[in-house]
Amino acid sequence: MRRFGSEFPTGVASQSPAGYLRSGVMATLADQLGSAVFFCSGLRASGVSVEISVSFVDAATVGEEIEVEGKLLRAGKSVGVVSVDFRKKKTGKLMAQARHTKYLAVSSRL
């Protein structure tokens, strides 16, 4: 499997003082979902995060449902890259896009 998706409602615990979904929540989800994509793709190791970047283009208010989809873009011998899209479930409008790069460490035989 090279894709992995999920959806969730935004809640009060994850809102900013202005009433929007906190950007750190999306960064954390990008990290977790990115790791799940590597794991579900049958790779021997989920690796170590090297870089996570998130571009925010819209905000979600409390109570909105969000769809999240991670796609494996590349998995080489030592580095892998995943793209994670955050969309509003009702409109399909892109809210944020993340890129997650991992070093795919090989287990030591020591």
pLDDT digit of tens for each residue in the chain (110 aa)? Answer: 566 666 666 666 667 777 777 888 889 889 988 888 888 887 767 778 999 999 999 988 878 888 999 999 998 888 999 999 999 989 999 999 999 999 987 666 65
* 38 burial level (CB within 10 Å; 0-12, 13-18, 19+): buried
Residue 110 maps to a domain:
no
Which residue has 């615990």 as its token pair? 13
What pLDDT does 4 receive?
63
Please report, for the domain that includes residue 58, its CATH number.
3.10.129.10
Number of domains in the chain: 1
What pLDDT does 91 receive?
92
Residue 108 maps to a domain:
no
**Domain residues for 78?**
3-103
- Going from the C-alpha of 66 to that of each of 10, 42, 48, 76, the distances in angstroms are 7, 27, 26, 30
Whether 70 contacts 37, CB under 8 Å: yes
Q: How far apart are CA 43 and CA 77, in angstroms?
A: 10
Residue 109 maps to a domain:
no
Instruction: Give the strand pairing for 48-56 and 65-75.
Output: unpaired
What pLDDT does 82 receive?
93
